[in-house]
Structure 1
Amino acid sequence: MRLSFALVLICGPAFAACPAPPDIAGELTQLFEKSRSASNFQQGQSLSNKMWEVWLRAPDDAAQEVLNRGLRKRDAFDFVGALADFDRLVTYCPAYAEGYNQRAYILYLREDYENALVDLDIALELQPLHVAAQSGRALTLMKLGRIPEARAQLLVAVENNPWLSEAALLAKGAPLEPVGEDI
């Protein structure tokens, strides 16, 4: 780790300021359009992965290092360590939606749904086209028993990316199945 990273990670934003995240709306809109016209699962998943590449692109090297470290800890089931890194990331880069989205995921895994929802709302305020935050918000609302809101949120996410695995929750007989359909 270079010294500049160390100063930012140890001292925090007092010594450095996180730059504003770039505008990624155009890039995501193109990926959504391609996703909607994908002809098979493999194409759809490839486009979903490209969306993740966009969301996981941090505003600077210091933020990227904290994000990557938190993701490694999350993947190793070190949720306490991951949460600490994502806390650090949102403190350093409060305008970067992915920090909130990742922290929300850890909170969701810890069954702290109310706080996960707060972070997902912030993530979506910062980046309304964050499909993973949209689907995460739907899952969180479902866990909170707010089924109509969960269904509406998931419909938005699936409209943006029809290849989401969570789309299965909208099928007939599934927890978020559409209501009021004629038989």
Structure 2
Amino acid sequence: MKELSLHILDVVQNSIRAQASLVKIEINEDIKKDLLEIKIRDNGHGMDAATLQKVLDPFYTTRTTRKVGLGIPLFAQAAKSCGGDFKIFSQKGKGTEIVASFILSHIDRAPIGSMADTMVSLIAMRPDVDFVYRHCVGDRGFVLDTREIKKTLEEVPINNPMVIDWIKEFIEQNLNEINGGA
């Protein structure tokens, strides 16, 4: 995948297939440590130890539509090929957490891509799932929490096109600010 946001989209879709009602996405760009860390945590049904051992095998999948599951192995390879690491933790009945780290300045590191597009795609497709997206660059950061937005909206659905447009603009403006823009 050409952008890390597409890896995030793929992993979150796995979380949704695992019946997660809450998915937390955290991106931390630590300039001083030259480290990019992406964490994705869900409260889905989780995996037992045997399944967890197989998840990095590209020829293992729980899906019936195809015989390979390349998403997680490709994400792991992307991290490791850029001097980073990839870890996955899961507990049956509790959920799963993925932590991918990258050398921020590594020449082969894919760009983060459009997190605004990734988040609005997820929210529009699955308004029944709650998402918390936290993004930090150095000591600047912001949080988007769909639970808070839903409270404010009351009867208006979060996947209403006007709300989706607002969410996309909110993310884009905040990303611009934390990256040093006006």
Greater radius of gyration (CA): 1
TM-score (ref. length: structure 1): 0.29
RCO higher in structure (CA 8 A, sep ≥6): 2
Decide which structure has greater strand share. 2
TM-score (norm 2): 0.29
